[in-house]
Amino acid sequence: MTGSIAPSGTALSRALTRHVQPGTPHQPRAVLEVGPGTGAVTRHLAQRLGPHDTLELVEANRPFVDHLAAALRHDARLAAIAPRTRLHHGLIQDQQLGHYDHIVCGLPFANFPPSQIEAVVRQLLASLRPGGRLSFFSYIGGRAVEHLNPRQALSRRALREAIDLHVVGSEIVVSNVPPAYVHHLLVPAPAVCRCGSLPKA
């Protein structure tokens, strides 16, 4: 369920949170982090939130939830956002999600069956407001494992299809252990008609 050998490093956490923009008092941002684990990425997210923005965390592993709850009280970087943070224990698939401007997802997709990847990616994209982004990662080197476990090849293909439909940017973080790809997907905002401002013929 954890799907990693270590928490995300600084470079990967920065890449995952790169597009999170602070809101304003008139337009606060709502951010969701899925699979925060022990909070490595959450600490970077906290620095990118404005004073009116809100954060929801959904984590499946009870010991990680307890760890995060304590960190929200005692870790200065997290305590700063604790009053605007809601921590939920459970699977993301079981949550009634709200609407978000940005979702940062730390799920170990390579360990998920293809149908579950499709369902979760669909669920997350449907929870984004127009113009919202979903940022997530996949570890580099997974292809070697696919030869031993063909199901992982199908999982990778399911993820690839979602990426191809919505991707606005991918980057490689080589300094993480293990190195990872970071993908940013965009739900387009509807085109705005500015007919009134068109010059008269």
Ligand X SMILES: C[S@@+](CC[C@H](N)C(=O)[O-])C[C@H]1O[C@@H](n2cnc3c(N)ncnc32)[C@H](O)[C@@H]1O
Instruction: List residues near ligand X by CB under 6 A.
Output: 1-4, 7-8, 34-37, 40-41, 58-61, 64, 91-93, 106-108
Q: How far is the CB of 3 from ligand X (least distance, A)?
A: 4
d(CA 150, CA 31): 35
**Packing angle of the helix pair 114-126, 150-166 (nearest 10 deg):** 20
d(CA 35, CA 91): 9
Q: How far is the CB of 27 from ligand X (least distance, A)?
A: 27
Closest alpha carbon to 100 in 182, 17, 39, 187 = 187
Q: Which CB sits closer to ligand X, 4 or 54?
A: 4
In whole angstroms, the minimum distance from the beta carbon of 187 to ligand X comes to 21
Nearer to ligand X (CB atom), residue 43 or residue 84: 43
3-state secondary structure of 65: helix
Pick 52 or 91: Cβ nearer ligand X: 91
State the minimum distance, in angstroms, from the CB of residue 170 to ligand X.
17
User: Can you give the three-state secondary structure of 106-120, one letter per residue?
Assistant: CCCHHHCCHHHHHHH
**Pick 24 or 149: Cβ nearer ligand X:** 149
